[in-house]
């Protein structure tokens, strides 16, 4: 028989702690190793508990150094962190992800949801509501678009989205036409075009093609 998942419950809400403890006591694969409120010694308590999963319900712990110390304690087992949040808040969710939380469930989740989330994070999986998962995907895509790329047009400093726009600009498409093709707003395209003109040193969109040819020629002539 496999060892049960050892859970540490950290919350200032006594009712929340007692409710989870009762739920876990009925599971053969989960056991509560400690249940307590937040405090100055909470970090050390979690790190020394031997817990596999830390369940917390407040961003208070996210705003302290405690979370990093729990996750990166030298010589100690890494504790997986599951946050039971008040609501599906995008800002709080992203903050939690940045701090290393690998499970995030809303406070109106069922007991089954919380138990399944504990089992998942204990196995190294990530858990979050579908809407917030989509938000995370959108953020990664946005960061990818904004990151500088190696330009095939011989111009350094262009983002991937700007790279995508250059052929369309060179084809003579208007901002409105480009926006429709890429499913973006016309204002967004206008801002991208403005930055492209500044980066390539062109006075108008008609000078983009010439700047690209100059950049490629410069690359080819380099040893």
Residue-range domains of the chain with CATH: 5-128 (3.40.50.2300), 146-221 (1.10.10.10)
The percent of residues in the chain predicted with pLDDT above 90, rounded, is 26
pTM of the shown model: 0.61
Q: Which sign does the torsion angle of CA 93, 95, 141, 180 carry?
A: positive
* Averaged pLDDT score across all residues of the chain: 78
Token pair 């800002």 is found at: 91
Helix (H, G, I), strand (E, B) or coil at 58: coil
pLDDT per residue as tens digits for the range 148-172: 544 544 455 677 777 888 888 877 8
**Cα–Cα distance measured from residue 55 to residue 149, given in angstroms and rounded to the nearest whole number:** 40
Query: Residue 189 pLDDT more than 80?
Result: yes
């Amino acid at each position: 028989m496999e060892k049960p998942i050892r859970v540490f419950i950290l919350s200032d809400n006594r009712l929340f702690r007692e409710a989870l403890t009762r739920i876990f006591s009925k599971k053969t694969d989960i056991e509560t190793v400690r249940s307590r409120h937040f405090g100055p010694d909470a970090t050390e308590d979690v790190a020394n508990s031997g817990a596999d999963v830390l369940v917390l319900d407040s961003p208070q712990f996210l705003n302290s150094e405690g979370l990093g110390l729990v996750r990166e304690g030298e010589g100690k087992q890494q504790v997986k962190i599951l946050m039971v949040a008040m609501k599906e808040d995008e800002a709080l969710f992203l903050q939690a992800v940045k701090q290393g939380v690998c499970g995030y469930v809303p406070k109106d989740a069922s007991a089954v949801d919380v138990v399944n989330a504990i089992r998942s994070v204990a196995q190294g999986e990530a858990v979050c509501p579908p809407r917030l998962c989509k938000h995370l995907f959108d953020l990664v895509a946005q960061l990818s678009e904004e990151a500088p790329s190696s330009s095939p047009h011989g111009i350094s400093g262009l983002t991937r989205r700007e790279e995508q726009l250059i052929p369309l600009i060179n084809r003579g498409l208007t901002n409105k036409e480009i926006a429709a093709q890429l499913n973006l707003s016309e204002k967004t395209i206008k801002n991208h075009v403005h930055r492209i003109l500044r980066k390539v040193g062109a006075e108008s969109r008609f000078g983009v093609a010439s700047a690209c040819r100059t950049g490629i020629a410069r690359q080819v002539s380099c040893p």
